[in-house]
Structure 1
């Protein structure tokens, strides 16, 4: 798995099931956004790049476009195939996409672009896009204006090390990019509703650098999070919580000159 960060390789290999249970889906508004911003619909082909376990696939399938998934981590890709057996799933990386030139109308990176944000990846994305095709970047971002969410992030962030993450903004440094027009940004309110153990604890434990910790350290993180839940009046003893997010969606168009 060359060019894959060690935290992604180890963490996502170790805990693909937690990724499914702990990660939120996406707001309903993202589907009309995909249609309007990317032109997705019948007769179009979209690539889900860094598709993971396929969390974003239901949104893409709702557009009625043909969907192809590319995911380099075998455990994640195998989970995707089990959950979405009718989707073509390929082993590949952003820097080496196993598709022909000008073969897709759109490329979507959901919760993924920060892992491979580079000139090489953008050049490869431009290669597989048809003229006038679009690139979309989507992230569910925790709303840290809520006290307990900020406290949860503080627990998690102590373990991040050098792992690429959305919140650092480092991924933005590759834009403006040759072969692409300017980024257009849209934001949607979102919530992940469910039992605290799933939407809070599993969410934290599914993070690559947490999942990759030795078992004793990972359990210590889990204990801290359980203590946070128990000490927070809005969470303690509840059967269902609404974890607040904001979904950040970006799109840009491939321009004719991709040199």
Structure 2
């Protein structure tokens, strides 16, 4: 369980990379949000916690009448464009400024590991309507091909070992180490997929929080150190490549 200081440190790290997140993070599949709506008794109000720049908030608008988004980082909330119709507010996940029994759905995309505490789950239970659904998910390393994957895995697991914030281990474990105190719901297999240029891949790697920490510590760019190897493994840098990130879920209904 990450300590409160680790959670505060994560806000600073991701605030510093807010524009990069808005530009280089992949998008979640539309089928995921259609499935989530189908598991809810009603589709009046959904909340995206730790919403960042709205990558999960915006797709929810196709299925819910009202979408709320909160984040501890005001910079993250202000980094996304064209989501004025989402009701955004700054809040800590463990202190949601919402009345009881107001939400049909709570989602937490790639962030539960920062605050997966009994206090947070109590807040989620309080805010959800009877029969309301909670769903959190994460994704870890991308998959391209064996040559590129080997270089990226080495950067992630060796070069940057010790530079990931507390809580990253939960992501690498696919959230299997987090106990969800709700009646569990099985989730179908979903994945993020994107067709990216080589420059988009490099931009994405530079959004990694451990890369930021490495740069702060050493004053150098660990991505630049492997860029030539990545370029060689990529092949034609004018060509785009298909990239995939498997998603891992924790979903369930709080018992009343």
Deviations 1:53-98 (A, max 9, x none): 1111222112133100010012101214x43112111111111111
Map of 1:248 onto structure 2: 248
2:167 aligned with 1:164:
yes
**Matched-pair contact (CA < 8 Å) for 1:37–1:251:** no
Structure 2, unmatched stretches of 5+, are none
Cα distance in 2 between the residues matched to 1:175 and 1:9: 23
Alignment length, in residue pairs? 248
Give the secondary structure class of the aligned counterpart of 1:29: helix
1:83–1:216 Cα change, 3 Å: farther
Deviations 1:194-218 (A, max 9, x none): 21211x2121111223234436847
Higher RCO (CA < 8 A, seq sep 6+): 1
2:237 aligned with 1:224:
no
1:4–1:72 Cα change, 3 Å: farther
TM-score, scaled to structure 1: 0.84
Map of 1:119 onto structure 2: 118
**Matched-pair contact (CA < 8 Å) for 1:51–1:110:** yes
2:117 aligned with 1:107:
no
RMSD, aligned CA: 2.5
Cα distance in 2 between the residues matched to 1:190 and 1:228: 25
Map 1:26-65 to 2 at 5 A: 26-39=28-41, 41=43, 44-65=44-65
Give the secondary structure class of the aligned counterpart of 2:48: strand
**Matched-pair contact (CA < 8 Å) for 1:118–1:174:** no
Deviations 1:27-63 (A, max 9, x none): 232122112223563xx10000010111112221121
1:175–1:212 Cα change, 3 Å: same
